[in-house]
Amino acid sequence: MTIELDYAFVDRLLAMSGPEIFWYFLVHGGWIPLLFILLWGIYKVFLYRNQIKDIMSHEYILLAIDVPKDNIQTPKAVEHIFAHLAGAHSSPTRREKYIFGKVQPWFSLEIASIEGYVQYFIRTPAKFRDLVEASIYAQYPDAEITEVEDYTYLVPVKRFPDPEWDMWGCDFIQVKNQAYPIRTYPQFEHGLTQEFKDPLAAILENLSLLGPGEHFWIQLMIVPIGQTEWKESGDKLVKKLIGAKEEAKETKIDKFIGAPMKVLETVGGEIFGAGEAPKKDDKKYDFPTRMLSLSPGEVDAVKSIQSKLSKIGYLCKLRAMYVGKKEVFKKTKAAHPFIGAVKQFNTVDLNSLKPELSKTGISGGIILFKQKRLAHRRNILLQAYRDRDPTVPMSPYVFNTEELATLWHFPAIEIKAPLVKKTEAKKGEPPMALPMEIEQLPEKKYAVPEDITGGDEEEAPSNLPFVD
């Protein structure tokens, strides 16, 4: 038996022009995928507009935070603050998320040097102000929290290029999988003396060196998220590293297709008798070939990943921006030292942070229409910073509370940067033994019978009644 193929259809297609081929497929069912693409695009525009409406419905405020000069708290206290702020997470229903475009509100943790004056800020939804203040006061009872205006508008730039101002800025991205942690604050403590070498000391010192007409802004945005999804991806990475067999999960399509087969298997077993059940393979780990061959560094990496997965995570974005008047603008004075300071958190075997310069960098690497494209990047970054947008221009990634407390915490007493804003004195109640001025009571005169005192002046007994 021979099978003959008819190539007449192919010959007819080759004889057609491009528009004729397009029309042929369009008439013969090609419009169906085009319709789905069109409807999907309309839905995405509809959802995006609803998400923008939801974001605009939230009122945000900017809080300036000052801690006492004699602060002895370590970043561990700030880690507790971030764990507390996770209470802002909400779980919208599918209808709220995919129809009404409900978006999770987020926080922005900021450090700004305004002409050398360094200040800590938190931008928060107004409805979470009590949550933020309670979280901070619980760890820093003497802190001062004040609502202020947005400092970014002290730089009167709407669009670049600007005749007076210049700008450098970028987003920072993770080098490896987000399950790998960066270097965190416990690793900055001396093993014997337990002395903490604050990695923010160099950053704050450099920020305090700026002068008139110079601004440097650091922004760490955190979005509360559910903990299941990102931890599942981290667990998959751990299983891959240690050689564990990953159990395949049955999808809804597999269940739909496999249901009739299971029914047939059950009926067949009842009629013809069931054979011996297959033995389950309980071997989850390939110990001889994988576990025992892991190097000490690989073992430490697995432990570090599991340690990161054990703590609360946030969807995050780190951004930095240096803005200055052209006569004093010097990128090597502010931008380069900051990038060098960020390298303190990098490790070769785990994760690192690096500036993303191919899409957000205000530097070289552009050949065609260089000035226009650089101005366009500046405008995107400036607007993204003012909007506190964690999704533009680069996608966010996950940090846990320990990593966040390493990147953003209040300065300890050892940091001597002179222009970091701190409270001048502690708040407290007056001491209980403090002397107070009181009204002089009238002198007590006792009614003493003469037969007791004999008419002579002497001290009256203490148990006698007195009269005015």
Single residue among 29, 57, 85 that ends a domain in this structure? 57
Q: Does one domain contain both 195 and 79?
A: yes
Q: How far apart are the first and last CA of the chain?
A: 136
**From residue 193, how far is each of 38, 197, 201, 241, 416 by CA, in Å?**
65, 11, 19, 35, 21
Q: Residue 4 has what pLDDT?
A: 63
Q: pLDDT tens digits for 382-395? A: 999 999 999 888 88
Single residue among 57, 82, 98 that ends a domain in this structure? 57
Q: Does one domain contain both 132 and 210?
A: yes
Q: Residue 70 has what pLDDT?
A: 75
Q: pLDDT tens digits for 28-41? A: 777 888 889 999 99
Report whether pLDDT(144) > 60: yes
Instruction: Give strand pairing partners of 121.
Output: 64, 110
User: Which residues lie below 8 Å from residue 405, measured CB to CB, with a gap of 6+?
Assistant: 75, 76, 78, 79, 81, 82, 184, 185
Report whether pLDDT(150) > 80: yes
State how far the Cα of 446 lies from the Cα of 88, in Å rounded to an integer: 69
Single residue among 38, 57, 76 that ends a domain in this structure? 57
Q: Does one domain contain both 43 and 132?
A: no
Q: Does one domain contain both 52 and 105?
A: no
Greatest C-alpha distance within the chain: 151
Parent domain of 391: 61-227+312-423
- What's the rounded mean pLDDT across residues 194-203? 87
Q: Does one domain contain both 23 and 78?
A: no
- What's the rounded mean pLDDT across residues 308-313? 95
State how far the Cα of 100 lies from the Cα of 53, in Å rounded to an integer: 9
Report whether pLDDT(157) > 80: yes
Q: Does one domain contain both 65 and 52?
A: no
Q: Does one domain contain both 23 and 101?
A: no
The answer, as to whether pTM is greater than 0.75, is yes
Q: Does one domain contain both 364 and 398?
A: yes
User: Are the CB atoms for 386 and 45 separated by under 8 Å?
Assistant: no
Q: Taking the mean position of all CA atoms in its chain, how far away is CA 318?
A: 8
Domains in the chain, number: 2
The pLDDT-based confidence of 124 (bands split at 50, 70, 90) is very high
Mean pLDDT of the chain: 81
- What's the rounded mean pLDDT across residues 452-461? 47
Q: Residue 437 has what pLDDT?
A: 54
User: Which residues lie below 8 Å from residue 145, measured CB to CB, with a gap of 6+?
Assistant: 63, 64, 65, 66, 132, 133, 136, 137
User: Are the CB atoms for 360 and 367 separated by under 8 Å?
Assistant: no
Q: Does one domain contain both 142 and 213?
A: yes
Q: Does one domain contain both 31 and 71?
A: no
Residue type, 250: E
Does residue 78 lie in a domain region?
A: yes
Does residue 3 lie in a domain region?
A: yes
Higher pLDDT among residues 394 and 5, named by residue: 394
Does residue 451 lie in a domain region?
A: no
State how far the Cα of 256 lies from the Cα of 253, in Å rounded to an integer: 5
Q: Does one domain contain both 43 and 75?
A: no
Q: Does one domain contain both 12 and 123?
A: no
Among 228, 235, 384, which residue's Cα sits nearest to residue 317? 384
- What's the rounded mean pLDDT across residues 221-250? 84
